[in-house]
Chain A
Amino acid sequence: MDILTFLVDGLLIGFVYGIAAMGLTLIWGVMNVINLSHGPIIALGMFGIYFAATSLGVNPYVGVILVSFAGLLLGMLIYAIAIHRVINAPHLSTLLATFAVNMIIIGLGTTAFTTSAYNVDFSLGNISVGPVNTPTTRVIAALASVLVTGALYFFLYRTTLGKYVRAVTDNRAAAELMGIPSARILALSFGLGTMLAAIAGGLIATFFPFTILSGGAYELKSFVVGVMGGVGNPLGALIGGLILGTFEGVIPAFMPTSWVPVLEFILFVVILLVRPTGLLGAKK
């Protein structure tokens, strides 16, 4: 493969990193909760489309749509059960609560699926443009991610419910005073965050094999991408995702893959040194 193919491959997956990070930073931006169950929910998204394809026999992309709704509901449920009672407690409490959810999902998932690798048996062939040749599923994943980003923006800036989410992000007490049921909006926001995680997982599973533990790596990437792009800034997350994806694509062309995280985190530190609020600035 030549360098251009590496670059395109990385860039395409970068879009997916972008929406995974959006899920993480949306939750942080709205309610100042770091969701440590982000990774396992990405993994559940992967298993979701696997079982949608094998048990229900649906197309993996229909599976992604099903998984997105399941992710939304699961997130609202997690919020209601584990987060809401500690939402006003110090950060350590919410960290532990989401970490507990993380352990529960991984524990149940390991029991149900073991930690061996699964693979969605699905291919749409390759797309060639000039010298670049890349799996069609990656191109679709990137396009879907752009679509999801657009939909998120539309929701947050053009719909009343989305504006309520922004109002609660901005000033929760004031929102409550104006008659906005802030607890329900927080639940919805948490659901949206997990929905984005599940979609990202589902899209990744269309071209990579996975285990119940696969989400961890993507969770870490989401942190890097989110902080790099500016926490609570969806467009920043997308751009951060593209940078990270490009790095991952290009570095293996020059040096062993094990250097990827080293250089990624060096880049991460440099960006934070130069622009502490992230590339596009935090939304707060």
Chain B
Amino acid sequence: MSILEVKDVASGYGEVQILWGASLSLGQGMITSLVGANGAGKTTLLRTIMGLVKPKSGSIIFNGQDVSTLPAHNKAELGLILVPEGRQLFVQMSVEENLEMGTAPKRAKPRKDYNLERVYTIFPRLKERRAQKARTLSGGEQQMLAVARGIMADPVVLMIDEMSLGLAPVLVLDLFQNLRKLKDEGLTILLVEQNVQMALAVSDYGFVLAHGKVDLHGLSANLIDDEHVREAYLGI
């Protein structure tokens, strides 16, 4: 069953069109990856799904509801949460305040204590640094905080843009393993990655985006073995 359905979405910035009818769907409780080369339109697709960029055409159905033109804060309220590229933390605020800002959606408030416990268990480093300002954290810690802030919103679907960017491979592996834990707890995750190998290794299903359209999709295990994918994205 699909919890998020993106149908033929076209969008872009001003005169520049980036997406030319992109479609994808997320299976509930699965990790789905969206991979593709730099400039394929991955981030634009996420921004369009969230409502930061308005779709020119196409539709976005979340949980059975058409949310195509809903502003981002209303989508967050419904449980559609994006951990944006470049972390976008509240750098002047403490770690704990950042996490508190994650609980802005009404649905997240009654689960605040539970989720705080949950993120501190997954990321004990954040608990140690909870009084520190976000800008004083290391790159890896900042990425943990960005994901943790997303979890605090008690998401139905968590979308993570370029989690691995700029991080040491060992840290990336660790973060991906934590995502599997979250999946086991029932969370639906969309991973957007340039690190194709890693993303396909951790996900159940994958979509490959090229030139603003979904080029192919399938079970991640099959995509890894796909000749075209191996040649174009894995360099094998």
Flag whether A94 is at the interface (Cβ < 8 A). no
Interface flag for A62 (CB, 8 Å): no
Contact flags (1/0) for B74-109 with A, using CB distance below 8 Å? 001100011010001111110001001110110010
Query: Which residue of chain A lies nearest to B106 when distances are taken between CB atoms in the complex?
Result: A179
Q: Are B92 and A178 in contact (CB under 8 A)?
A: no
Using a CB-CB cutoff of 8 Å, which residues 27-56 of chain B contact chain A?
A: 50, 52
Tell me the smallest distance from the CB of B89 to a CB of chain A, in Å: 7
Within 156-186 of A, Cβ neighbours of B (below 8 Å) are at: 160, 163-164, 166-167, 169-171, 173-182
Point out the residues of chain A lying under 8 angstroms from B100, CB to CB: 160, 163
A156 → B minimal CB distance (Å):
11
Partner of A178, one of B52, B71, B91, B104: B104
Q: Does A275 contact B (CB under 8 A)?
A: no
A91 beta carbon closer than 8 Å to chain B:
no
Contacts of B6 in A (CB 8 A): none
Cβ of B213: which chain A residues have Cβ within 8 Å of it? none
With both beta carbons as reference points, the residue of chain B lying nearest to A160 in the complex is identified as B100
How far apart are the CA atoms of A170 and B89 in the complex, in Å? 8
Name the distance in Å between B154's Cβ and chain A's nearest Cβ.
Answer: 10
Q: Would you give the shortest CB distance from A261 to chain B, in whole angstroms?
A: 34
* Interchain CA distance A72-B73 in the complex, whole Å: 24
Contacts of A179 in B (CB 8 A): 73, 76-77, 104-105, 108, 153
A170–B93 contact, CB under 8 A?
Answer: yes
What chain A residues lie within 8 Å of B105 (beta carbons)?
178-179
Q: Which A residues lie within 8 Å of B89 (CB)?
A: 171, 174
> Residue-by-residue, is B144-186 near A (CB-CB < 8 Å gives 1, otherwise 0)?
0000010001000000000000000000000000000000000
Is the CB of A85 closer than 8 A to any CB of chain B?
A: no
Q: Are A164 and B93 in contact (CB under 8 A)?
A: no
- Chain A residues whose C-beta falls within 8 Å of the C-beta of B92 in the assembled complex: 166, 169-170, 283
Q: Mark B94-137, 1 if CB is under 8 A from A, else 0.
A: 00010011101100100000000000000000000000000000
Contact A178:B84 (CB < 8 A) given known A164-B101, A166-B93: no
> Do A182 and B73 touch across chains, with their CB atoms under 8 A apart?
yes
A180 contact set on B, CB distance < 8 A: 73, 101, 104
CB distance from A56 to the nearest CB of B (A): 39
Q: Which of A164, A167, A177 contacts B76 (CB 8 A)?
A: A177
- Tell me if B72 is interfacial: C-beta within 8 Å of chain A: yes
CA distance A36 to B183 in the complex (A): 52
Q: Which residue of B lies closest to A181 (CB)?
A: B73
Least CB distance, B48 to chain A, in whole angstroms: 13
User: Which of B72, B97, B108 interacts with A177 by CB under 8 Å?
Assistant: B72
B149 to chain A, nearest CB (A): 7
- Of residues 136 through 164 on chain A, the ones whose CB sits less than 8 Å from some CB of chain B are 160, 163-164
A177 CB contacts on chain B under 8 angstroms: 50, 52, 72-73, 76, 81-82, 84, 88
Q: Is the CB of B73 within 8 A of A171?
A: no
CA–CA, A174 and B105, complex, Å = 13
Could you tell me if B97 and A178 are in contact, using CB atoms closer than 8 angstroms? Answer: no
A166 surroundings in chain B (CB, below 8 A): 90, 92-93, 97
Closest to B79 in A: A179
Q: How far is the CA of A169 from the CA of B108 in the complex (A)?
A: 22
Chain B hits for A176, CB < 8 A: 52, 71-73, 76
Please, how many angstroms separate the alpha-carbon atoms of A187 and B81 in the complex? 24
Specify the chain A residue showing the minimal Cβ separation from B104.
A179
- Of all chain A residues, which has the CB nearest B98? A167
CB distance from A277 to the nearest CB of B (A): 14
- A177 to B93 CA separation, bound complex (whole angstroms): 17
Q: Chain B residues with Cβ under 8 A from A160's Cβ?
A: 100
Which residue of chain A has its CB nearest to the CB of B50?
A177
Q: Which residues of A contact B102 (CB under 8 A)?
A: 178
Complex CA gap A194/B160 in Å reads: 39
Question: Closest B-chain residue to A174, C-beta based?
Answer: B88
Which of chain B's residues have a CB closer than 8 A to the CB of A169? 92
Give 5 A-B contacts (CB < 8 Å), ordered by A residue: A163-B97, A175-B101, A176-B71, A179-B77, A283-B92
B contact residues vs A (CB 8 Å cutoff): 50, 52, 71-73, 76-77, 81-82, 84, 88-93, 97, 100-102, 104-105, 108, 149, 153
